[in-house]
Chains A and B, each alone.
Chain A
Amino acid sequence: MKNFLLFYKSSSISGKISMLMIALVFFVAVFGTAFSRHSAFVPSDSAFVPPNTEHLLGTDDLGIDLWAQICEGAKLSLTIGIFSALLSGIAGSFIGIICGYYGGFFDKFVMRVSDILIAIPSLPLMIVMGVFFGAGIQNIIFVLAVFSWTGPARIARSKVISLKTEKHVLVAESYGAGIFYLTFRHFLPEIFPVVMVSFIRLVNRGIVSEASLSFLGLGDPTAKSWGLILNHAISFKGIYFTDFWKWWLVSPFAAITLTVLAISFIARDAEKFLDVKL
């Protein structure tokens, strides 16, 4: 908590605004559906009601309240972003630590696999896997994690390789410290800041990938995702000739853009604060 306050104080104005923005998105994601008076799934008024006090962001072509849909979308985006980043961050760090510490055949094998994963264009494969596995949230998180663990793994590996030869680690080893002790006592505290920055970036990557997939209509068709709202709005026949875009198109567009920008500003400030260069 103290560290967080220090980070908040040290960050730039854009970083502070971004943190407030993300706090707002969090709040909306957690409590938004409880506060909104209408369902995000059932029509509650006639179609295309402009924003008013009853419907903060108006309604869409089926008369479903848009504010409630945006809240649902925030929940989905944050869940996918955070869990995919957590999964790949944790798995990647431990794989990286094992590779860096033991080296040898396992290390070579893992590095080769990560080379292959980096060489494969990720979006096409993600589309293919997402569609075949089914478009549930867990599947999207899993597919994202499969592609993202290589980043943290490489960072952790190179850090451990240099740490391995440091004197304090050698001393600990000579007292009989095993890999578990070394990992939690010496490696993780050193790796944490670097992996933290890459974690924030991975959250962003998850949110963008989910939005792209659901914008293509390849996400879960029943989930209220920002990308899917955008997809419905832009493929609506009359969108160019009416004023509906002012709330229907703008609200998911603004939600994605602001969230993604805010997270990237926070990542930039965190990079400066933790003094790491990725």
Chain B
Amino acid sequence: MDFLFQGFLQAFKLLLTGDPETYSAVAATVTVSSYAMAVSLLMGIPLGFALGHFRFPGRRAVRLVVDTMLSLPTVFVGLMVYALISRQGPLGQMGLLFTLPGIAIGQTLLALPVVIALGATTVESMDANLRTMLISLGAGRRQLLLGILWEARHGLVEAGLTAYGRVMTEVGIAMMVGGNIKWHTRTITTAIALETSKGMFAMGIALGMVLLLIAFFTTSAASLIKRK
């Protein structure tokens, strides 16, 4: 059990001394997850709203596909993205393999179904009387949509947080698409996997604690938004 204690001690040491390798992994993680979440939220919230609010032919089939994609294995997404952006793939000439944008593409595919599915569920579960109330007070189409979105904001923030959790903790995509290249595409999770395989548990625990700290700050920021 001593290595656990040593791990916690080392975590504080790495963070407080500004260990460049640790901060490189932190920077890579924050960068790819920010890209992935930005795209997922920008695309996922409107799509989730549309899926939850509007009734259109084939809606159930779309919902089934999105719900199924909630269970996407990260290694499978990694494999698909690898196939797409490797030299023989259709996007091979873009040079995205073993880059942070390459990882971000894979993580977007992971987060997007979460935002869409949970966003749609949130909008679906809104009280039907909200729509009647907004129209009866004189809301136009745009005001109606914005009004429902605003009232659904807590659920949408939760959807974003859940997706963020998936993105932050995945290893498969970062490992396969990023290649775990030191100073370049090594993220916190791939670094943990590497350190553990080398028997460096303390370093792994230290990086795990950093991951938890990032999650804590993100959740705190989200709860501030929800409180408004």
- Asked if A and B are interacting partners, one says no
Task: Give the interface of B toward A (CB within 8 A).
Answer: none
